[in-house]
Chains A and B, each alone.
Chain A
Amino acid sequence: MIVKVRNLVKRYGDLIALDHLSFSIKEGEIFGLLGPNGSGKTTAINCILSLLKYDKGEIEVFGEPMTPEAYHIKRNIGIVMQNVAVFNELTVYENIDYFCGLYIKDKNLKKQLVEETIEFTGLNEYRNFRPKKLSGGLLRRLNIACGIAHKPKLIILDEPTVAVDPQSRNKILEGIRKLNSKGATIIYTSHYMEEVEQICSRIMIIDKGKAIATGTKEELKAMISLGEKITVESYDVSGEQLARLKQLPNIVSVEYSNPLIEIKSSKGKNNLENVLEFIKKENIPFGKIYSELPTLNDVFLEITGKELRD
């Protein structure tokens, strides 16, 4: 195991930020920590990094207890903080060089690693720019470059795509996959379920400091009763028709928010076909009709009773 967390408890006065949180991360995984804002993702990361003292529990990194003085462990960890942490006085190159220099003493190796990282993050054109002159996306890339330049075995990315445009976000996600393919184990926290779904091999959903579900995205989706979500666009449907629609087999709920009818069904066969037949039989005029499989948001909703983005 690269990271092992057991019964982690962290309190801020009366508020319990982490409530007996336990998880473990295997080598080569992209482990996603998914949860709404304030769920305890960053607190968990800060405890793993020994930036925060915790009240109870055990943390092991690379098989050894993690302490603030465990510098030999820290040497193999790369961290990309939620807030961009770079020096405004230094250029892009100087920032990466500085952070790489905290881990690498050999000057030639450091130079080579810095050049590779600049190339990897696509910052070559901006190497002499100061951070204040970079766009939000480029700044995030610089933040990542500073965290990964020393080629760590474990990379922790705490919401690295906050306030980033879609193009830069895709580049960042692509980069994270590349880092993983080169052998790095990655811990990725986010409240964007699409991102987590897209790149993580295993996901832990947390809420109010508690782990509410852990597994691959398929495993998580299998945990819930929701099998399919069918949406129909219609401007003319009566309440009686909606009530009859709800009587169909496997249909769990029907909600109408003009012009969309949202039908949720449990797992079963021919759900979409049954709905189409009903619409035809009732002569309900409709525009579009489509079916979706459940998302992590649906998993979160079913388990906690609230939306992931609430």
Chain B
Amino acid sequence: MPVYNLCMRIIRKNIPSLLIYLFVFVGVSIIVSSSSANPQKAVNEFTRKKADIAFISKDDSPLIEGLRNEIGKIANFIDIPDNKGDLQDALFFRRVVYILRVPEGFAQKFIAGEEVFLEKTFVPGSASSAYIDLSVDKYLNTAKFYLEHMDNISQEGLVAYLNDTLSEEATVTVLPARTKTNLSNLAYTYNYMAYSLSSILILGMSAIMMALNDKDLKNRMSCSPISGTKSNLQFFLACLTFSGAAWLVQIIACFILDLENVMTLNTVFFIISSLVFTFCGTALGYLIGSIVKGTEAIPAITNVVVLGSCFLSGVFVPAELLGKSTLKIASFTPAYWFVKANNQIAQLSQFDLSSLKPVFSDIAVIFCFASAFFALSLLIRKTKRYN
């Protein structure tokens, strides 16, 4: 198969320039996968941090002492003089995030079932304040529960019950299983293939096409005993081999970088979408190779076409951050549908027909692009031949 071997030789000569794109892909994938490790840690681990608060009590009862001890588990008490100016300054300068004032006789009235209020001042929107609030509510609600169901209970007895009850803690374990973050990072890696794979395919295909489209070489080939049909078949076989190899190398890189998700159904669909996108990239390379005349123009055209469509389609910047009109323009590029399909695959947790339908329709659009590019290339080549 001389034409097949020739195409493979031309590809081999272009491997150094093609490898650049592969290295960029692997590099970006490594960065993405390592950055994804940190949010995973944040989900799996929890560290309790104490908030700084001021606790001003005008009631020295055991119940309030118990409340102070309970809050003390999640807060540091800061001594601040009990006057309005000092307390406001402390809040403003964030020396404390919460001020709790217990009025005189609070415990007695609370036990008697009268309506009483704690005075609280806090930094608006502070998560620590909300946490302290919850703790106070929990303490007093539990105390109320005991008071309603136990007659003649002393304050000391009540505090003992409260301490016993509130010391019980539930252990929550966050499983390090697949999370949405993990899969969306995987989607990003596959999305990035839209750049690296397209670039590799266009450069490789154009290199072959440039060599074979030379008029003198075409004439020379026509004088040989190899028929046009045989020659074309060998050419297409070489293109398939090259595209398949380029796709396989990147898929293997994806697998190595994310071994965790290799055996999931999501990965199967990522593979399908990337395979269809590979056909599309090959057809686009065939089209560009049919149009472009000089080899010097190919890297420039590749960059304009691939980078342009990738920027518009949300390969580098998430699609959510792009404007509606930008996405509308991007919908005329196959990269947009590839990214859309991958993002949808990342969201899949059920694999029934209704969940898969949007994914398949996006993949079908990519296939339509591939067919259109291929048909256009054939038309251009035929027109050129007649001219």
CB distance from B55 to the nearest CB of A (A): 81
Contact A102–B217 (Cβ < 8 Å) = no
Task: Beyond A51-B223, A81-B219, A89-B14, list 9 extra A-B contacts (CB 8 Å).
Answer: A51-B219, A74-B223, A79-B223, A83-B216, A85-B214, A86-B217, A99-B224, A102-B224, A103-B225
Complex-state Cα separation, A51 to B218, whole angstroms: 10
Residue of A nearest to B214 (CB): A85
Within 8 A of A (CB), among B1-33: 2, 5-6, 9-10, 13-14
List residues of chain A with CB under 8 Å of any chain B CB: 46, 49-51, 68-69, 71-72, 74-75, 77, 79, 81, 83-90, 94, 98-99, 101-103, 146
Contact B6–A81 (Cβ < 8 Å) = no
- Given known A71-B225, A74-B225, A98-B2, contact A85–B10 (CB-CB < 8 A): no
Residues of B within 8 A of A102 (CB): 2, 221, 224-226
Residues of B within 8 A of A99 (CB): 220, 224
Complex-state Cα separation, A148 to B53, whole angstroms: 96
Most A CB contacts (10 A, CB to CB) among B5, B9, B219, B225 go to B225
Residue of B nearest to A146 (CB): B220
Complex-state Cα separation, A36 to B5, whole angstroms: 40
Contact A89–B219 (Cβ < 8 Å) = no
Q: Chain B: interface residue count, which band?
A: 20 to 34
Complex-state Cα separation, A74 to B227, whole angstroms: 11
Which of A74, A87, A146 contacts B211 (CB under 8 A)?
Answer: A87
Contact B219–A85 (Cβ < 8 Å) = yes
Tell yes or no: B90 within 8 A of A by CB: no
Which of A72, A79, A87 contacts B217 (CB under 8 A)?
Answer: A87
Contact B10–A74 (Cβ < 8 Å) = no
Contact A85–B9 (Cβ < 8 Å) = no
Residues of A within 8 A of B10 (CB): 87, 89-90
CB distance from B298 to the nearest CB of A (A): 13
Complex-state Cα separation, A102 to B221, whole angstroms: 8
Contact B223–A49 (Cβ < 8 Å) = yes
20 A-B residue pairs with CB within 8 Å: A51-B222, A71-B225, A71-B226, A71-B227, A81-B219, A81-B220, A84-B216, A87-B211, A88-B211, A89-B9, A89-B10, A89-B14, A89-B211, A90-B6, A90-B13, A99-B224, A101-B5, A102-B2, A103-B225, A146-B220
Residue of B nearest to A82 (CB): B216
Contact A103–B217 (Cβ < 8 Å) = no
Residues of A within 8 A of B186 (CB): none
Residues of B within 8 A of A49 (CB): 222-223
Contact A94–B216 (Cβ < 8 Å) = no
Residue of B nearest to A130 (CB): B13
Within 8 A of A (CB), among B282-330: none
- For the complex, would chain A's binding face be called helix, strand, loop or mixed by DSSP majority? loop
Residue of A nearest to B216 (CB): A85
Contact A81–B2 (Cβ < 8 Å) = no
Residues of A within 8 A of B219 (CB): 46, 51, 81, 85
CB distance from B226 to the nearest CB of A (A): 6
Contact B207–A89 (Cβ < 8 Å) = yes
- Given known A87-B6, A89-B207, contact A72–B225 (CB-CB < 8 A): yes
Residues of B within 8 A of A46 (CB): 219
Residues of A within 8 A of B227 (CB): 69, 71
Residues of A within 8 A of B6 (CB): 87, 90, 98
CB distance from A100 to the nearest CB of B (A): 9
Residues of A within 8 A of B216 (CB): 81, 83-85
Contact A85–B220 (Cβ < 8 Å) = yes
Complex-state Cα separation, A49 to B222, whole angstroms: 9
Residues of B within 8 A of A85 (CB): 214, 216-217, 219-220
Residues of B within 8 A of A68 (CB): 222
Within 8 A of A (CB), among B219-238: 219-227
Residue of B nearest to A75 (CB): B225
Contact B222–A90 (Cβ < 8 Å) = no
Residue of B nearest to A70 (CB): B225
Residues of B within 8 A of A72 (CB): 225
CB distance from B232 to the nearest CB of A (A): 15
Complex-state Cα separation, A146 to B6, whole angstroms: 14
Contact B224–A89 (Cβ < 8 Å) = no
Complex-state Cα separation, A98 to B227, whole angstroms: 16
Contact B2–A101 (Cβ < 8 Å) = yes
Residues of B within 8 A of A94 (CB): 9
Residue of A nearest to B215 (CB): A83
